């Protein structure tokens, strides 16, 4: 059977896919990569580039060799470990031996790691939810005004506001925040502190009780009441909420 030949155009398309999908689940990744390079395999590669050694990869990428680009794709197809190797050796740094430099050399495009990182980050963000200030305020008011509602019923109401926002979403939205900063965050109107309260309350009835005691028990500068006042301008006080709650209970 006649062996297949891979073109530079296909190699570039494949390498761009490799660079821009570094975190894609491996099975889906391979399926999509196969849709780009077709049935091209190691036997085809060996016939097209006889005698090409893997250690040539670094220098081959630096010089824009078609064989080096094709070798990257063939290696990735054989195992997830080799994919990780490619990610580490040829995508983690934008130097003369990188896939970014290879694409620049062979296409004259301004293809950089910085640009690709933004693409990958954008794809990640599509899988995470962001909680805006308006929803945070609505949720915190709900927490303050439903302190005595049974936890199971309480959570249903809170979920109706924040949907399925999770702790993983919180870490994505605020990657550098520390939970111990909630006290200071509430005092200065930090969005991350408000979201941190919500995430904690969602996790357990114990944490809800903690929030009720620490952030709703006293109307001070570390309270949810204060947070709502400084972020909305409303005269939102513990006395007002408690009186309304007492009327509802009676």
Does residue 240 share a domain with residue 143?
A: yes
The residue-averaged pLDDT of 34-39 equals: 92
Does residue 140 share a domain with residue 118?
A: no
| Listed residue (126, 99, 110) closest to 19, CA to CA | 99
The residue-averaged pLDDT of 78-88 equals: 89
pLDDT for the residue 250: 43
Give pLDDT tens digits for 205-250: 999 999 999 999 999 999 999 999 999 999 999 999 988 765 554 4
Q: What is the rounded distance in angstroms from the CA atom of residue 148 to the CA atom of residue 144? A: 10
Does residue 88 share a domain with residue 196?
A: no
Does residue 94 share a domain with residue 116?
A: yes
Q: How many domains in the chain?
A: 2
Q: Please report which confidence band the pLDDT of residue 55 belongs to, taking 50, 70 and 90 as the band edges.
A: low
Q: What is the pTM of this model?
A: 0.53
Does residue 75 share a domain with residue 42?
A: yes
Q: Scanning the structure block, which residue is given the tokens 């903690």?
A: 210
3-class SS of residue 117: helix
- What stretches of 49-150 show up as alpha helix (H) in DSSP? 57-63, 66-78, 80-90, 99-107, 113-125, 133-145
Residue 88 CB-density burial (10 A; 0-12 exposed, 13-18 middle, 19+ buried): exposed
Task: Among 74, 98, 125, identify where a domain stops.
Answer: 125
The residue-averaged pLDDT of 48-62 equals: 78
The fraction of the chain above a pLDDT of 90, given in percent, is 63
Does residue 120 share a domain with residue 144?
A: no
Domain annotation covers residue 3: no
pLDDT for the residue 128: 73
Q: Please report which confidence band the pLDDT of residue 108 belongs to, taking 50, 70 and 90 as the band edges.
A: very high
- Report the b/e string of 121-152 with b at 16+ CB within 10 A: eeeeeeeebebeeebbbebbbbbbbebebeee
Q: Which domain holds residue 42?
A: 8-125
Does residue 108 share a domain with residue 50?
A: yes
Domain annotation covers residue 2: no
Rounded (10°) CA dihedral 60, 66, 72, 73: 180
- Over 50: is that where the pLDDT of 120 sits? yes
The residue-averaged pLDDT of 119-144 equals: 84
User: Cα 88 vs. chain centroid, distance in angstroms?
Assistant: 19
Q: What are the distances in angstroms from CA 66 to CA 60, 103, 107?
A: 8, 11, 12
Average pLDDT, the chain: 88
pLDDT for the residue 27: 86
pLDDT for the residue 249: 47
Q: Scanning the structure block, which residue is given the tokens 């494949």?
A: 14
Does residue 172 share a domain with residue 76?
A: no
Task: Among 125, 152, 185, identify where a domain stops.
Answer: 125
The count of C-alpha atoms lying within 13 angstroms of the C-alpha of 130, restricted to the half-sphere facing its C-beta, is 9
The residue-averaged pLDDT of 102-122 equals: 90
pLDDT for the residue 182: 81
pLDDT for the residue 127: 65
Q: Please report which confidence band the pLDDT of residue 172 belongs to, taking 50, 70 and 90 as the band edges.
A: confident
pLDDT for the residue 57: 79
Q: In the chain, what's the furthest Cα-to-Cα distance?
A: 87
- Over 50: is that where the pLDDT of 130 sits? yes
Task: Among 90, 125, 160, identify where a domain stops.
Answer: 125
Does residue 88 share a domain with residue 26?
A: yes
Q: What is the rounded distance in angstroms from the CA atom of residue 248 to the CA atom of residue 250? A: 5
Q: What is the rounded distance in angstroms from the CA atom of residue 129 to the CA atom of residue 91? A: 27
Does residue 97 share a domain with residue 51?
A: yes
Does residue 180 share a domain with residue 106?
A: no
3-class SS of residue 244: helix
């Amino acid at each position: 059977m006649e062996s297949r030949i891979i073109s530079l155009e296909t190699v570039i398309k494949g390498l761009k896919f490799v660079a821009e999908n570094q975190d894609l689940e491996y099975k889906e990744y391979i399926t999509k990569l196969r849709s780009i390079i077709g049935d091209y395999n190691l036997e085809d590669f060996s016939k097209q580039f006889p005698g090409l050694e893997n250690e040539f990869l670094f220098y081959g990428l630096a010089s824009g060799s078609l064989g080096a680009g094709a070798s990257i794709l063939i290696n990735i197809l054989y195992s997830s470990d080799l994919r990780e190797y490619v990610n580490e050796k040829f995508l983690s740094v934008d130097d003369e031996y990188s896939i970014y430099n290879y694409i620049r050399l062979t296409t004259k495009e301004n293809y950089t790691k910085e640009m690709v990182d933004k693409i990958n980050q954008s794809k990640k963000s599509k899988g995470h939810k962001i909680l805006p200030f308006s929803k945070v305020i609505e949720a915190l008011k709900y927490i303050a005004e439903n302190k005595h509602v049974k936890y199971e019923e309480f959570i249903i109401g809170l979920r109706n506001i924040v949907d399925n926002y999770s702790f993983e979403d919180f870490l994505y939205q605020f990657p550098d925040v520390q939970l111990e900063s909630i006290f200071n965050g509430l005092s200065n109107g930090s969005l991350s502190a408000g979201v941190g309260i919500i995430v904690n309350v969602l996790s357990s009835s114990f944490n809800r009780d903690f929030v009720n005691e620490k952030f709703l028990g006293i109307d001070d500068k570390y309270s949810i009441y204060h947070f709502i006042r400084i972020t909305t301008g409303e005269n939102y006080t513990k006395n007002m909420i408690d009186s309304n709650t007492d009327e509802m209970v009676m």
